[in-house]
Structure 1
Amino acid sequence: MPRVSPLSSADLPAAVAETFSAFAGGYSDFRDQAAVLAHVPPALDHLYRMLMELRAREGVPFRYIELAVVTVSKLNACPYCVSHHTPLLEVEGVPTEAVAVLPESDHPAFDDADRAVIDYARLVTVRAWGIRDQVFDALRRHFTEAQIVELTLRSALAGFFNRFNDALQIDDGAAEALLHLHPRSDTAAGEQP
């Protein structure tokens, strides 16, 4: 149960309600996340419309976006995002056993472009301040500068959603089930039980 009361699209102005409905029932069911983000209608409207527009324009193939999102979400131990994005990654042709090794990039199912995305998403998440030039050299072999900017945006935004979902305990049951399969230690992060 989220830490704030969920809202519905009926609680929003018509234009924002339309964005809520389009995103919440889009390529994955994010209705529970939308119901919490709805407390700040401009954030819901702008973030979700931006994500839908990015998806529609296909500036970066969806496989790479999902590789970045799942990598970041696993690093941040966000069961909600891992549970919602893993099936999308599998639809993109990444086998289950390859998804299981993320955030590592050494599975044989990953090609050079996949590895460049995974390694970059990991660095954006854990050490954005110290990314070396050779990482960008690897990215440039597969992606334009605009695509690199979008991969950076999507990796950083995945980190935002990880923290948002975890802090407000957004969970539709799938994430909770995943958490029991792969428990995380909050005491390792410095929180007292």
Structure 2
Amino acid sequence: MSRIPPLPVTDMSPATQDDCAALEAYGPFGNWAGIAAHSPVVLHQVTDMLVNMRAETRLSRRVIELAMVTVSQLNACDYCLSHHVPSLTVTGVSPEGSARLLEVEDHPELDACDKAIVRYARSVTERSGRMRDAEVSDLRAWFDDGQIVELTWRITLIGAFNRFNDALQIEAEEPLDGGSA
């Protein structure tokens, strides 16, 4: 059970209701939206950012989901894993492959680019202040500077979501079909 109950729709302003609807259109995040609605500015800014990032991304869904699942596994965030493992599966990584994503070096479902993404996500999550320049440079074989900036932002953002969701024990929505990104 979540530590804070979702705000009833009847207690939301029309603008907050609109943000909840926009986030629900983005993906099945009703539980998250209901809890974030207690702080309309948080709900609004997160919804706006996620919708705009999806519309303007230059990264493939596979790249995004590899990064998000890696970070969520490292942080053991059940909420985020419940959303992003099905989404990673849609990109061609089996549920079993998703479960062993951190075994990157011997992973039969990952190509060289995929492995670089997983390694990078792990480095940013575990030791961002102690990374080597080569860890960013290695990504240049597949990504330009703008894509590396976006990938890094998405990695750090999912880490923030992991902590928010776990701190408030937000319950996953059911059922999930791999539609969120």
The TM-score, its normalising length taken from structure 2, stands at 0.89
Letter in 2 for 1:127: R
Task: List aligned pairs for 1:51-62, cutoff 5 A.
Answer: 51-62=50-61
Q: Which secondary structure does the structure 2 equivalent of 1:102 belong to?
A: coil
The corresponding residue for 2:138 is 138
Letter in 1 for 2:126: V
The corresponding residue for 2:85 is 86
Letter in 2 for 1:71: T
Higher relative contact order (CA 8 A, sep 6+): 2
Letter in 2 for 1:35: G
Q: Distance in 2 between matches of 1:161 and 1:32?
A: 13
Check whether the contact 1:9–1:21 (CA below 8 A) recurs between aligned residues: no
Deviation (angstroms), 1:108: 1.9
Which string of whole-angstrom CA distances, capped at 9 and with x for unpartnered residues, describes residues 25-50 of structure 1? 433x1111111111111111111211
Q: Which secondary structure does the structure 2 equivalent of 1:127 belong to?
A: helix
Check whether the contact 1:2–1:169 (CA below 8 A) recurs between aligned residues: yes
Which string of whole-angstrom CA distances, capped at 9 and with x for unpartnered residues, describes residues 143-185 of structure 1? 11111111111111111111111111111376xxxxxxxxxxx
Q: Distance in 1 between matches of 2:8 and 2:56?
A: 28
Structure 1 runs of 4+ aligned residues shifted over 6 Å read none
The corresponding residue for 2:100 is 101
Q: Distance in 2 between matches of 1:16 and 1:152?
A: 29
Please give the root-mean-square deviation of Cα atoms over the aligned residues, in Å.
1.6
Task: List aligned pairs for 1:26-41, cutoff 5 A.
Answer: 26-27=26-27, 29-41=28-40
Deviation (angstroms), 1:17: 2.1
Q: Tell me: CA distance 1:85–1:141, structure 2 relative to 1, closer, same or farther (3 Å).
A: same
Unaligned runs of 5+ in 2: 175-181
My pick for the range that moved more, 14-23 or 59-68, is: 14-23
Deviation (angstroms), 1:2: 1.0
Deviation (angstroms), 1:112: 1.5
Q: Distance in 2 between matches of 1:26 and 1:35?
A: 14
Q: Tell me: CA distance 1:63–1:8, structure 2 relative to 1, closer, same or farther (3 Å).
A: farther
